[in-house]
Amino acid sequence: MPVSIRDAKNTEADRKWIQRNYPEYLEDLSQQSMNTGMFPVRGEYGEREQELMARWFADDSSHPLILLQNDRPAGFALVSRPLRNQRESIDYRMAEFFVSPAQRRLGVGRDAAKLIFARFSGSWEITEFLYNKPAVAFWRSIVNHLTAGRFRESVTHGEVRQVFSSQDFVQRR
């Protein structure tokens, strides 16, 4: 079950795959938010979804990626550069991360995350909505394993935030 990633900006097919699967991602977030209104219900963005996708693919600080299992799309990720006015120096943010339900619990997300952190070596920030227990557990496990526990975690305004450097564990490989 080889997992790989590729830049989704390079092919129209990858872009369309993300656009088709983005509503399912929003649905997952909506369900995990426990009806807090934190995430939109399916269709709430309407035409704005197209605008959002266009920004992903036009912005030079945005890196939309397709997660592949056996060379077939299994999910997507959006790596972005953080806002410049942040208090601390962060090189990259995991802005979005989605693995198709049929591909979950098979190691696709874990292996893709490792590949992403190796490709974008530097200081990272990942945030999850506090009530999205599966996402919090997933990222805590991944970051703890990869950094051998050398990361900072905080909970603020309903979000769990992990900050770490991927340079250390990428060099240890």
Predicted confidence band at 70 (pLDDT cuts at 50, 70, 90)?
Answer: very high
CATH of the domain at 128: 3.40.630.30
Q: What is the pTM of this model?
A: 0.85
Kindly report, residue by residue over 1-36, the tens digit of the pLDDT.
699 999 999 899 999 999 889 888 877 777 655 554
DSSP string of the chain, one letter each residue: --EEEEEGGG-HHHHHHHHHHHHHHHHHHHHHTTTSSSSPPTTSSTTHHHHHHHHHHH-TTEEEEEEEETTEEEEEEEEEPPPTT-SS--SEEEEEEEE-GGGTTTTHHHHHHHHHHHHT-SEEEEEEETT-HHHHHHHHHHHHHHHTT--EEEEETTEEEEEEEHHHHHHH-
Q: Domain count of the chain?
A: 1
- pLDDT at residue 37 is higher than 50: no
Q: Which domain holds residue 107?
A: 3-172
Q: Per-residue confidence at 38, pLDDT binned at 50, 70, 90?
A: very low
